[in-house]
Amino acid sequence: MGDSENKQKTAFGVLAALSVAHCLNDMLQSVLTASYPLIKNELGISFAQIGLITLVYQFAASVFQPFVGFFFDKHPVSRSLPIGMSFTLTGLVALGLVPSLPGVLCAVFLIGMGSSVLHPEASRITSLASGGRRGLAQSVFQVGGNFGTSIGPLAVALLVVPYGRQNISFFALAAFTAIVVMTPICRWYKRYLNRMKIETPMVGKRVEMPLPKKQTIISIGILLLLIFSKYVYMASLSSYYTFYLITKFGVSVRESQVFLSVFLVAMAIGTLSGGPIGDRIGRKYVIWISILGAAPFSLMMPHVGLTATVILSFCIGLILSSAFPAILVYAQELLPYKLGLISGLFFGLAFGIAGISSAVLGKMADIHGIEAVYRMCAYMPLLGLITYFLPDLKKININKLK
């Protein structure tokens, strides 16, 4: 698959459509977290129950992802993306209408199932459409998701907060739009699959894994630990940042969502830069800088005022978000024949860690206060030190060509 991929031109039209679809999908996913204050007030639930909602959502959006990726590695389906978005559409309609916590849990489970299909499948198609420029392609794909995540809270602030939780159902229109956007992607993917039925047997003989099996396993383990450090900290920001701002600085719900969007916009900018820089200088160095480099800012944030908190959150989002495209492509290069499985594993782990962390951090916030959560999580980026033990794949590939 690798040689054939490099002979193809980068399908920028497909990448743009994938980015827009990812934008719409992740905007819809962020509607859930941005609506937490409304759900908490309307249903009278605790922080621990907010964590439970996130846990159910992340469970559905994480545990199934590797299985979805593995299944579609073996049995690719050209219309898999619209199938996944249909789950999200149904869940959004339910989320705005259900009157109780069990109903909310069922709704978020459906939304999570939509992500379980979209992320590994869209990431696989992104890699196939990259023409060999995988870092750039993944950044284009990821920045769509991050941009969508950043505008979700603003959409909730404008369309839901003033009018009530039932307005969440109207976001199903965005899910339908995403299905329309996915139509040309499905057509391209169907043509690709038809072509690969002829080309894959010949291509497969030319591709080798860059590292021995034992070193590959160790490297994937390191990458998974880095994902752990990144997403434990990100869970504290994505799920509880609004509560932190409201509790510590007394801002309104709407203001807190605007400040959350500042952080999420920074994530979009960082994501867009991480992949292309990794293509140029090597993914190991992007991973090293992006995770460990966020530590000084995360350590300062619990001890400063509102303005400095917003500025530091922007810096953290900008630096930390550049890691995921580099980590994902690094892992895909380690196992080039398991694109769906790897994408599902890493997206799934990211969602799973975020869900479990949200539940644990929610319980901790109930007991010790929301500020204690941020003082503890500030140390997580220091785990970026283990990047030292990752092999430099760019240097290894250059040496093989000599």
pLDDT-derived band at 199, boundaries 50, 70, 90: low
Whole-number Å distance between alpha carbons of 109 and 54: 10
Whole-number Å distance between alpha carbons of 205 and 193: 18
For 68-97, b where at least 16 C-beta lie within 10 A, e where not — what string? bbbbbbeebebebbbebbbbbbbbbbbbbe
More confident residue, 196 or 351: 196
Model pTM score: 0.71
pLDDT-derived band at 169, boundaries 50, 70, 90: confident
pLDDT-derived band at 203, boundaries 50, 70, 90: very low
Whole-number Å distance between alpha carbons of 391 and 212: 11
For residues 159-176, average pLDDT: 81
Residue 226 structure tokens:
């880095």
pLDDT-derived band at 8, boundaries 50, 70, 90: low
Per-residue pLDDT tens digits for 11-69: 889 999 999 999 999 888 878 877 777 888 888 888 788 878 878 887 887 788 888 88
Q: Rounded to an integer, what is the distance from CA 352 to the centroid of its chain?
A: 11
Domain 2-401 belongs in CATH node 1.20.1250.20: yes
Instruction: Give pLDDT, residue 397.
Output: 64
pLDDT-derived band at 371, boundaries 50, 70, 90: confident
The 3-state secondary structure of the chain, one letter per residue: CHHHHHHCCCCHHHHHHHHHHHHHHHHHHHHHHHCHHHHHHHHCCCHHHHHHHHHHHHHHHHCHHHHHHHHHHHCCCCCHHHHHHHHHHHHHHHHHHCCCHHHHHHHHHHHHHHHHHHHHHHHHHHHHCCCCCHHHHHHHHHHHHHHHHHHHHHHHHHHCCCCCHHHHHHHHHHHHHHHHHHHHHHHHHHHHHHHHHHHHHHHHCCCCCCCCHHHHHHHHHHHHHHHHHHHHHHHHHHHHHHHHHHHHHCCCHHHHHHHHHHHHHHHHHHHHHHHHHHHHHCHHHHHHHHHHCCHHHHHHHHHCCHHHHHHHHHHHHHHHCCHHHHHHHHHHHHCCCCHHHHHHHHHHHHHHHHHHHHHHHHHHHHHHCHHHHHHHHCCHHHHHHHHHHCCCHHHHHHHHHC
Instruction: Give pLDDT, residue 32.
Output: 80
Please say whether the beta carbons of 182 and 82 come within 8 A: yes
Instruction: Give pLDDT, residue 176.
Output: 92
pLDDT-derived band at 311, boundaries 50, 70, 90: very high
Domain-by-domain residue ranges, the chain? 2-401
Whole-number Å distance between alpha carbons of 108 and 152: 16
Q: Report the percentage of the chain scoring pLDDT > 90.
A: 19
Output the average pLDDT for the chain: 83
- Stretch among 11-25, 194-208, 275-289, 341-355 having the lowest mean pLDDT: 194-208
Instruction: Give pLDDT, residue 55.
Output: 80
Residue 306 C-beta-side C-alpha neighbours within 13 Å: 14
Please say whether the beta carbons of 284 and 397 come within 8 A: no
Instruction: Give pLDDT, residue 269.
Output: 82
Closest by CA to 116, choosing from 52, 183, 69, 167, is 69
pLDDT-derived band at 265, boundaries 50, 70, 90: confident
Per-residue pLDDT tens digits for 57-115: 878 877 888 888 888 888 888 889 999 999 999 998 888 888 888 999 999 999 989 98
For residues 272-290, average pLDDT: 81
